[in-house]
Structure 1
């Protein structure tokens, strides 16, 4: 396993120019063959599986052994058996085991008798026994192989025997170098292939140049064509599987696929620890397993066709600590009743069809799995249950014929209209995953893709707009980094159009997180506009304008009842910002489908539809295909005489509740709500199409039992009302997800005397919950002054931003004291106050420095390098993934000095082993700076003389051919 798991990035730069050249040649000459590895018959068993069991177990498993023979003795005397591991894997529903014993942090032990000296090898054939036991019970075994020699003496003893291997090879080989270790491990691959024909493949923890230069993978393919190859955190074409390692921080926490960056049909693993705390290997502790988190990951991964590679920590005798055994036992009874929804299925809402996964009604969240027969059978996995007794989700055009609870067999009431399936009257909820089996007749109301034509204002070569309607998710349209950009769909003649179903390419994470090893964000549509035209020339005003969520899976854009030949989707921007250079301004879309209607099953109405309530005055029924039940109530303007009255709004307990009103309007207006005859509560509502529902939520007091709610509008023309929904208020701890960026960010070093600092901040709302009374401003310490008032907004909706800029000035007549200055956004959600804060830290620069700046500072350009946390580092962060290619660098701009002369450049860094930086000043020839160290969390300092000119300079820290150390900060003496 890579050492800094959470800092790993999708594609690790190659370490040598020769490797870059080789990769380019392979891409140009054998691209079709490389692409063919994405889908291959040898992968079918893994595609049919749900999970694997990852076992880190070796010489340094607690209690660690420094002698290989002593470790093997204790393994055997402790009662190790291969059958135990295989049986525990089967309890988890795992189809395979990955054994990580030849691991850099576990003593490079080999659990098989080896004729190749160089590191620990057992006399007992533990690997062979495991392969045999697995074969007998249909559990395949994959062997982990590391590329990394850097931890060879971590425990104070040398675990790699260069002398013995040199004698074996008849030449001098240093196993502690990457080249020497690459040669040694290369030999081991071939030894394993000869000895264990029933092995299922190799799980490879990143690449070694020696392997690539000697075409190791190609030889494995030739020698063992049925074996799988998996590569950690890389998407290498020759590999079968991409493994995404230990991603955390998502919302909900279990939704691991939000961290994925590889589109289907690529085989993808989610590789994560089951123990909540502790190491990847047994460290002596009986660490807990978070059942909620672990089952949620298991289900949501299946909902994205990802395999759950669950890491457990066997002890020296092979047994798992008690809490892990208990979790395995739980899974052995929890999974079987829903097995048909997990094995032999695919994730729904993507290339295999299916309804839309993600966030649903009233706080619900879940995923879809689909059968492989055209999604005629779908499984709705409600991982987070709603706060009400119904689940309402986008149906993606599938006509539903029957819904049942998969665990109990109970047939469920349901309703379908306006593009949504509502499963009603749910009284039994599984604690971790309530699964509904949804049987469908067909997918309705979509035009055949072959009858459509697509053009775009910009396309990257090889990815034309025609890919949008070719019916294939293997091909996609690329905007060629142009924004705004538009796509025009030609229906062939004037036709009815109700909505667009958009499948964007799933090649980026769906949320920003800098601790992945670099800032990453979603390359998905944010703000958009849709136009229609009969002739493709005159477009008029947009029929829709809004924002799509940063979410995986199919997204629908309702159009109202349009009749036109041409539909133009204009994308104004995407969610990715400049902190994500790989994704910013990039847009890729697999398919856009056009629907001309919605499946309708009105026999069981959705509760609280407006058309079924009492109407007064001018309030009248009106058709609305996109509304629940296919109708709405209009004519509500002019005050309370024109109203809808709901007389049986029932809740179990008295108190404040969340009232959601689904309404339609082409322009901003207002609604008023009176509860049980009390004074009305007025709410502003927005919309952009009088035939497409939007929603507004507010807090209302309700009494236990039945309540009467009257809805009207004091505006001259009020909105139409589709339905209302009542649910408990979210917990007081709930804060809608936002992204706040501050420039400059992090720790700032100030010179002597009074200082002024220009600061800007941007708040973005990332979810569909509205914010009210928003204010964004710094809160400076006593004695500081602020020039510039707070930025404010009456309300914020999905994707909207609020920006402010201020000048902060320290107290006069003294040096800057240490100050932590919060940049704070305050707002209300459903009448409750909330805040989010980012800290701007200011410190006095040391007297012997004339310049100092953190590597992670927002004023620097990072290229494809990225930021990760580092507790001992200055500012608590550093830049990692430097080097290995020309795009992985840190560029310090505006390094300002008063005098042109030579300075000492101090470089604060962390490194494990020996590596080099190259420092380029003002574009002059680079200077190599060689450094060494032990441990990626131990900061070191080195220095190099550089010559600067008076005024602004640039300093670039890079290594275009090999991996560079992590960078903490630069300073000038």
Structure 2
């Protein structure tokens, strides 16, 4: 039997409020983490769990209505002998990414780390028997990549996740009773493990509050716990509404900040916090055998550019296969994006949102020295009128080649003349000095 961690909850519970860590003041370490995060701009999202065995995405338990007792058989088939943490992290670096966010526990409740408060984890329930989170964290430390942990607040497996929410109900076979406070204690205990057993981490990426919008999630307690254990760790939550006090970055699921084409984003608020947009390479997060609807390299690069134009990071997802390998199609895309960033990365990394908000034609980013980059993503012909910049232009050159750009500043904006031979496939970038 594993020992039970008894949390000294009162040590961290500084507020009884349900939805906020009121009066939260980020630490010096946290503010430094926020600055690093905004400089990093690009990371890999990894959705990996026992659900990969079924090849039908990370929601397979809910979508196929698999009862808990049947789903609990999956771990005995999970033996990712081809998992190579060094290979994963090396690929991330070649892709030009600066951090990884990996699922420590998804909605199915199965922990991909060695947990002392539950035996429902990769070490105790799989023939593989190794802590992949530990292996990945050690390799990230060696290669200089930050690691964030995705952690699901929603849990389709735990009996104390009660009353049931909008998903995972009616088929799991769990008793129709439970102690909600016990569940939150359990969640906080697992978070304590993640925050104390794996060294310094980038932060916690929460998901699942939307399943029970009106529940007492005891956020003040959980957020205080995280900030106390790791003052530099950043907290973000995919709850689709404006950030609560205690959160350190705001995320947007499969949409650029302020947009809602996917129907997830329930607020028009774009906060002053660091921003992040997450996106899939096909249509699903977890490994899906039949989803071959891969986005093109051009589309993904242009999405990353527009995200940067909003000042947001781009967190691009892959769902590794059950054997521990990342799909070759995904690796190919990531390496091609990395090649593009080798040449154009200075117009993305360490920049902030530009003086002209992203539009159909493209976006702008601004470097710390005041250089403005105009990213022309869609050019229908050789002339384009864009909004005026805040100051008069001193020089305008092509990022590639350094030749002068033909332009004129008018009362209606800046009229650019970009000959066909100067137009690049993904992004024609202009360097502006003012």
Alignment TM class, shorter chain as reference: 0.7 to 0.9
**2: distance between equivalents of 1:114 and 1:24?**
27
Say whether 1:435 aligns with 2:429.
yes
- Give 1:272 deviation, angstroms: 1.8
Specify the alignment match of 2:372 in structure 1: 378
Q: Does 1:45 align with 2:50?
A: no
Out of 184, 194, 197, the residue aligned to residue 195 of structure 1 is 197
Aligned CA-pair RMSD: 3.6
Deviation at 1:263, TM superposition (A): 3.2
Say yes or no: does 1:263 pair with 2:290. Answer: no
Higher relative contact order (CA 8 A, sep 6+): 2
Q: Which residue of the other structure, out of 233, 244, 254, is the alignment partner of 1:246?
A: 254
Q: Helix, strand or coil: the match of 2:51?
A: coil
1:309 aligns with 2:315: yes
Residues 280, 318 of structure 2: 8 Å contact kept: yes
- 1:285 correspondence with 2:316: no
Counterpart Cα distance in 2 of 1:23 and 1:187 = 19
Deviations 1:802-827 (A, max 9, x none): xxxxxxxxxxxxxxxxxxxxxxxxxx
Alpha carbons of structure 1 residues 252 and 81: separation in structure 2 relative to 1, 3 Å: same
Counterpart contact for 1:38–1:267, Cα < 8 Å = no
Structure 2 equivalent of residue 338 of structure 1: 344
**Does the CA contact (< 8 Å) of 1:98 and 1:142 recur in 2?**
yes
The TM-score, its normalising length taken from structure 2, stands at 0.77
Identify which of 49, 61, 64 aligns with 2:52: 61
Residues 300 and 224 of structure 1, relative CA distance in 2, 3 Å threshold: same
- Alignment check: 8 A CA contact 1:379 1:436 kept: yes
Q: Which residue of 2 aligns with 1:865?
A: none
Query: Offset of 1:87 from its aligned partner?
Result: 2.6
Contact 1:56–1:100 (Cα < 8 Å) also in 2: yes
Normalized against structure 1, the TM-score is what? 0.36
Shift in CA distance, 336/252, structure 1 to aligned 2, threshold 3 Å: farther
Compared CA separation, residues 325 and 134, structure 1 to 2 (3 A): same
What residue ranges of structure 1 are gaps of 5+ in the alignment? 1-18, 163-172, 350-355, 441-973
Cα offset for 1:21? 6.8
In structure 2, what is the equivalent of residue 274 of structure 1?
A: 281
- Describe the SS at the equivalent of 2:111: coil
Number of aligned residue pairs: give it: 384
Say if 2:40 and 2:313, in contact at 8 Å, map to a contact too.
yes
Shift of 1:118: 5.1
1:95 aligns with 2:98: yes
Task: Spell out, residue by residue over 1:286-343, the C-alpha distance to the aligned partner (whole angstroms, 9 max, x if none).
Answer: 6232224322211100001111111211111232223222211211212221111100
Q: Tell me which residue corresponds to 2:112.
A: 111
Residues 152, 190 of structure 1: alpha-carbon distance in 2 compared, 3 angstrom cutoff: closer
Check whether the contact 2:20–2:245 (CA below 8 A) recurs between aligned residues. Answer: no
Rounded Cα–Cα distance in structure 1 between residues aligned with 2:411 and 2:30:
37
Is the 1:66–1:157 contact (alpha carbons within 8 Å) kept by the matching residues of 2? Answer: no
The answer for the alignment partner of 1:391 in structure 2 is 384
Cα shift at 1:193: 1.7
CA distance in 2, matches of 1:103, 1:251: 26
**In the alignment, what sits opposite 2:395?**
402
1:139 aligned onto 2:139:
no
Task: Report Cα offsets for 1:607-647 as digits up to 9, x if no partner.
Answer: xxxxxxxxxxxxxxxxxxxxxxxxxxxxxxxxxxxxxxxxx
Structure 1 residues 200 and 414, CA, compared in 2 at 3 Å: closer, same or farther? Answer: same
- The whole-number CA distance in structure 1 between the counterparts of 2:260 and 2:404 is 29
Mark the runs of 5 or more structure 2 residues left unpaired by the alignment. Answer: 1-13, 56-70, 124-128, 160-167
Are the counterparts in 1 of residues 19 and 218 from structure 2 also a CA contact under 8 Å? no
* Counterpart residue number, 1:424: 417
In terms of fraction of residues, the more helix-rich structure is 2
* SS class of match (1:40): helix
Q: How far apart in 1 are the matches of 2:86 and 2:142?
A: 10
Mean Cα displacement is larger for which, 404-413 or 304-313?
404-413
The one-character-per-residue Cα deviations of 1:161-217 (angstroms, maximum 9, x if unpaired) are x9xxxxxxxxxx97x664443221111011222211132221111458665277121
1:368 is matched with which residue? 364
Q: Is the CA contact (8 Å cut-off) linking 2:20 and 2:246 kept in structure 1? A: no
Q: 1:67 to 1:100 in 2, by over 3 A?
A: same
Who is 1:22 aligned against? Answer: 17
